[in-house]
Structure 1
Amino acid sequence: MSLPLEAAPAVPSDPPKLDDWFAGLGDDFAGRMAAGALRAGMSDGWRVRWRGRELELQVDADFPFSAPRIYLVGYARAQAQPHVERDGKLCLGSKPVPGDGIATVKAALAAAFRLLAENETKQHDDDFREDFGLYWLNWSSDTDLLAEVLPGPEGTTQCRLVRAVQTKNRAFVLPSKADAARFWTNRTGAAPKWLKTTALIPIDPLPAPHRYPDTAAELWTLVEARTRGGTDLLARLVDNDPKEFFVVLAGRAPSGREHYAALRIRRPLDRAGLPLKRRILRQGLERAENPMRTLFGRFRIERLATDRLDASSSRLPEGLQRQMAAAKVLVVGCGALGSGVARMLAQAGVDHLRLVDPDSLGWENIRRHELGADHVGHGKARSLANAIRAALPLIGFVEGYQTTFATFAREHSEALNDTDLIVSCTGDWTADASVELALTRLGRKGLAVYGWMERHALASHALLLGSAGAKLADGFDEHGNPRLPVVAGGKPPPPECGGASTTFGAVELAHAQALVVRLAIDALRGLETAPAWHSWIADVVAFEEAEASVASGWAVSRGQPGNMGGLFVGDWSFT
């Protein structure tokens, strides 16, 4: 079949039918597919020939408002091609032409023939290594066990022993005993009962699918050919005749991307389906030229689907990852605003967090707090620290303190002195004043971000200050009232709040949290220097619903916000 794909209908029709178009291909058309031969989810299919190969084109019930799927018939790993999945499905970028089945089919076939032609000239062979993780996943063994790998600082540079924690469906591979213990304790609240010694073996170059090992002997040969010292680790692991262990192959793609691929190594089974006894497994080894290689070759292997535990952090710029991991941040106030700020900082990569709040969670908090009903009656700071550890088990350090900041500063002066940034979200004038006092004691290193919201969260503020120069008190009177408020008026809080809470919803809260976190991250990166004052103002509809307006002083000083509100950046100056 040649390109472009043109075929005259064997039987004229108006409008032309897809079956007629296929029939017009002549000898290149291999027939319609029987219903029982269709892949899962497909409703119709046709077979065509191209350069001695047979392809299946199948469509689902949404066709022609969905793209066809095209499969290579008789596809196997020994003939693996780039951008072809394990079941022979071609990974194509063609889009449907809505309502036009023939145009949609022609576009899909044209893309398929183009890909196959390019594969014949090996134009995409580097993709086997560039997207190694995806191809390994595609050709992994049929097992329910998934490997999750955290590479560690050495990456793919050297062979080494690492540790794995195994559950029924997961094997978590981490760089060291300490990393594995911290990860599992953060995740479950208890130390792991046992750790499996695992070999991480860099290989160069990464193999294409036809070289993926199917047997332990093939794995040994691959490691022997493409590593220095990798077989020493294999011999070390197998020398104790374990019932099972893990091996992780590592390597770099041409672009420098790191890839990891895990295998489970198991003793063979006896006739009763049990792992072979040690004496049977070792029979005849004394006569083998290489006993360890022979012993290893008697094991059976499974290629495991493998993910990276740090996949989310890889989306951040590398420099930012390092800066966030090194930063030590103290969050004061773990209420609605501070709890979200603390979690977002952890998600942004801050690896060392201390959380301070004297209060316990109440039922009035749960609609807007990071913690829910399960934590009512428990200290906010400690409960939040536990929740962050469980949700982000790779985090290095999170600790909660059920106390005021002033008490924390007295009792944990060393921790305070080691802090790179204080983020105060108390919404309390007295508590924030104690933070400002602590800044003066920190000297030149002192740096704090203050976050607060006005009535109904119609305005939110984030303020970055240092230990010298502008002061928090510059913007407030002696009673803690802002000298330049945004919001004037507004209906009173509902009776159930007891007059003690500011009413706001999750949307307004999200804006406030993001405002504070962004300024905190920019401060840690050195992109913002003190003093810096950022404000977010709600849209006109929110003001109307709250029966409030923009204060005249703000409008004169900073300008009247537009109907959509938005971000305002100004000086912390009130002369």
Structure 2
Amino acid sequence: MHEASIRRHAAVERVRECLRDLHGVDPTPLGRRALAAYHHRFRIKSGWRLPVDFGEPHPRHIDVLIPEGFPLVRPQFGLLERPPFLTWPHVERDGSLCLLANMSEFDPDDPAGVVVRLLGKSCTLVRDLLEGGMAERDFLDEFLTYWRYDRNASDGRLTSILRIERPSREIAVWQTTGIRLLGDTEEQVTGWLRNRYGDKVLRPSRLQKGLLVWLDRPMLPSEYPRTARDVQVLVERCGGEAPRLLPGRPSAR
């Protein structure tokens, strides 16, 4: 057996024994279907499902997830009984719990201790979410992250040369394969493209009009626009000249 496999097997066994000591019984191993439910980027190889009492009529279940590379790669944790995606912050679409920053340090020589500490953090997170005090704050503080999750677009990157200042205003947009550029004027956009790619990129013209909507605060997930009517309501809520800049409204100029 390869040295890394031996180390991983020994670490997994230490974790299993630790979880058995904590709960008094052997933890329930996750089957292939349960493991496959988690995002492939974690490369989960094994795990266990643990019932946890949060003071509700029925326990919830937290999955301890062992990735390929464990214990050099930290374990992951998932919540089985959860509300729809973006109801709670720090809970991903597949139920994975965001407990640590990507570059956080942990001790690969103490795999059982790492699992126990992160299991404790998982339980604390779920309790805090059930109490309800942190959701709005964290959704607002991390708006850009959750907005990107909700859009779920592989081509979601934009290049902006806009002035980041009030007010809401009409802007110029150039959108084609590989280029999504936002600028304050058509001249600014075409000048940037000419300097970056040469005159050939300007033919045929891909210029469109857009609207920069300046919000007083970030949106909560429940406020993310999903229809044209939602966008209209959002713009009208901003007040000022913004509603008059929508297509079909009298021009502000």
Q: TM-score, normalised by structure 2?
A: 0.74
Q: Does 1:32 align with 2:40?
A: no
Q: Is the 8 A contact 2:86 2:146 kept in 1?
A: no
Q: In the TM superposition, what whole-angstrom CA distance separates every residue of 1:474-526 from its partner, at most 9, and x where no partner exists?
A: xxxxxxxxxxxxxxxxxxxxxxxxxxxxxxxxxxxxxxxxxxxxxxxxxxxxx
Identical columns (%): 23
Q: Is the 8 A contact 1:59 1:68 kept in 2?
A: yes
Between structures 1 and 2, the one with greater strand share = 1
Q: Which residue of 2 aligns with 1:106?
A: 116
Q: Does 1:127 align with 2:138?
A: yes
Q: Does 1:87 align with 2:94?
A: yes
Q: Does 1:177 align with 2:192?
A: no
Match among 227, 233, 236 for residue 215 of structure 1: 227
Q: What pairs with 1:558-569 in structure 2 (closer than 5 Å)?
A: none
Q: In the superposition, relative to structure 1, how do residues 133 and 78 fare at CA in structure 2: closer, same or farther (>3 Å)?
A: closer
Quote the Cα distance in structure 1 between the aligned partners of 2:74 and 2:172. 44
Stretch of structure 1 that moved more, 181-190 or 221-230: 221-230
Q: Does 1:138 align with 2:145?
A: no
Q: What pairs with 1:481-496 in structure 2 (closer than 5 Å)?
A: none
Q: In the superposition, relative to structure 1, how do residues 214 and 29 fare at CA in structure 2: closer, same or farther (>3 Å)?
A: farther
Q: Is the 8 A contact 2:16 2:27 kept in 1?
A: no
Give the secondary-structure state (helix, strand or coil) at the position aligned to 2:246.
helix
Aligned CA-pair RMSD: 3.0
Give the secondary-structure state (helix, strand or coil) at the position aligned to 2:170.
strand
Quote the Cα distance in structure 2 between the aligned partners of 1:117 and 1:151. 43
Q: In the superposition, relative to structure 1, how do residues 127 and 79 fare at CA in structure 2: closer, same or farther (>3 Å)?
A: closer
Quote the Cα distance in structure 2 between the aligned partners of 1:135 and 1:126. 13
CA positional deviation for 1:16: 6.8
* Consecutive unaligned residues in structure 1, runs of 5 or more: 1-14, 240-575
Letter in 2 for 1:97: D
Quote the Cα distance in structure 2 between the aligned partners of 1:150 and 1:29. 54
Q: Which residue of 2 aligns with 1:47?
A: 49
CA positional deviation for 1:186: 1.5
Q: In the TM superposition, what whole-angstrom CA distance separates every residue of 1:232-283 from its partner, at most 9, and x where no partner exists?
A: 323348x9xxxxxxxxxxxxxxxxxxxxxxxxxxxxxxxxxxxxxxxxxxxx
Q: Is the 8 A contact 2:85 2:92 kept in 1?
A: no
Q: Is the 8 A contact 2:171 2:182 kept in 1?
A: yes
CA positional deviation for 1:209: 1.6
Q: Is the 8 A contact 1:146 1:171 kept in 2?
A: no
Q: Which residue of 1 aligns with 2:214?
A: 202
Q: In the TM superposition, what whole-angstrom CA distance separates every residue of 1:452-491 from its partner, at most 9, and x where no partner exists?
A: xxxxxxxxxxxxxxxxxxxxxxxxxxxxxxxxxxxxxxxx
Q: In the TM superposition, what whole-angstrom CA distance separates every residue of 1:101-155 from its partner, at most 9, and x where no partner exists?
A: 21110121122223333343524633322322121112114x44324142533x2
* Consecutive unaligned residues in structure 2, runs of 5 or more: 1-11
Give the secondary-structure state (helix, strand or coil) at the position aligned to 1:17.
helix
Q: Is the 8 A contact 2:162 2:182 kept in 1?
A: no
Quote the Cα distance in structure 2 between the aligned partners of 1:27 and 1:44. 20
CA positional deviation for 1:164: 1.1
Q: What pairs with 1:167-316 in structure 2 (closer than 5 Å)?
A: 167-190=176-199, 192=202, 193-236=205-248
CA positional deviation for 1:27: 8.9
Quote the Cα distance in structure 1 between the aligned partners of 2:165 and 2:96. 31
Quote the Cα distance in structure 2 between the aligned partners of 1:131 and 1:114. 20
Match among 103, 107, 116 for residue 97 of structure 1: 107
Give the secondary-structure state (helix, strand or coil) at the position aligned to 1:79.
coil
Larger Rg: 1
Q: In the TM superposition, what whole-angstrom CA distance separates every residue of 1:304-341 from its partner, at most 9, and x where no partner exists?
A: xxxxxxxxxxxxxxxxxxxxxxxxxxxxxxxxxxxxxx
Quote the Cα distance in structure 2 between the aligned partners of 1:130 and 1:57. 28
Q: Is the 8 A contact 1:174 1:180 kept in 2?
A: yes
Quote the Cα distance in structure 2 between the aligned partners of 1:33 and 1:25. 18
Q: In the superposition, relative to structure 1, how do residues 140 and 65 fare at CA in structure 2: closer, same or farther (>3 Å)?
A: same
Quote the Cα distance in structure 2 between the aligned partners of 1:24 and 1:229. 65
CA positional deviation for 1:156: 4.1
Quote the Cα distance in structure 2 between the aligned partners of 1:27 and 1:218. 52
Q: In the superposition, relative to structure 1, how do residues 210 and 129 fare at CA in structure 2: closer, same or farther (>3 Å)?
A: same
Q: In the superposition, relative to structure 1, how do residues 95 and 35 fare at CA in structure 2: closer, same or farther (>3 Å)?
A: farther
Q: What pairs with 1:383-402 in structure 2 (closer than 5 Å)?
A: none
Q: Is the 8 A contact 1:29 1:48 kept in 2?
A: no
Quote the Cα distance in structure 2 between the aligned partners of 1:49 and 1:211. 33
CA positional deviation for 1:68: 0.9
Q: In the superposition, relative to structure 1, how do residues 212 and 146 fare at CA in structure 2: closer, same or farther (>3 Å)?
A: same
Q: In the TM superposition, what whole-angstrom CA distance separates every residue of 1:193-249 from its partner, at most 9, and x where no partner exists?
A: 231101111122221122212222223223333444433323348x9xxxxxxxxxx
Q: In the TM superposition, what whole-angstrom CA distance separates every residue of 1:322-363 from its partner, at most 9, and x where no partner exists?
A: xxxxxxxxxxxxxxxxxxxxxxxxxxxxxxxxxxxxxxxxxx
Q: Is the 8 A contact 1:147 1:170 kept in 2?
A: no
Q: In the superposition, relative to structure 1, how do residues 61 and 225 fare at CA in structure 2: closer, same or farther (>3 Å)?
A: same
Query: Which fold has the larger relative contact order, with Cα–Cα distance below 8 Å and residues 6 or more apart in sequence?
Result: 2
Quote the Cα distance in structure 2 between the aligned partners of 1:223 and 1:17. 56
Q: Is the 8 A contact 1:30 1:49 kept in 2?
A: no
Quote the Cα distance in structure 1 between the aligned partners of 2:218 and 2:227. 17
Quote the Cα distance in structure 1 between the aligned partners of 2:214 and 2:85. 23
Letter in 2 for 1:173: L
Give the secondary-structure state (helix, strand or coil) at the position aligned to 1:70.
strand
Give the secondary-structure state (helix, strand or coil) at the position aligned to 2:69.
coil
Give the secondary-structure state (helix, strand or coil) at the position aligned to 2:33.
helix
Quote the Cα distance in structure 2 between the aligned partners of 1:55 and 1:234. 47
Q: Does 1:59 align with 2:66?
A: yes
Q: Is the 8 A contact 1:75 1:87 kept in 2?
A: no
Quote the Cα distance in structure 1 between the aligned partners of 2:238 and 2:61. 36
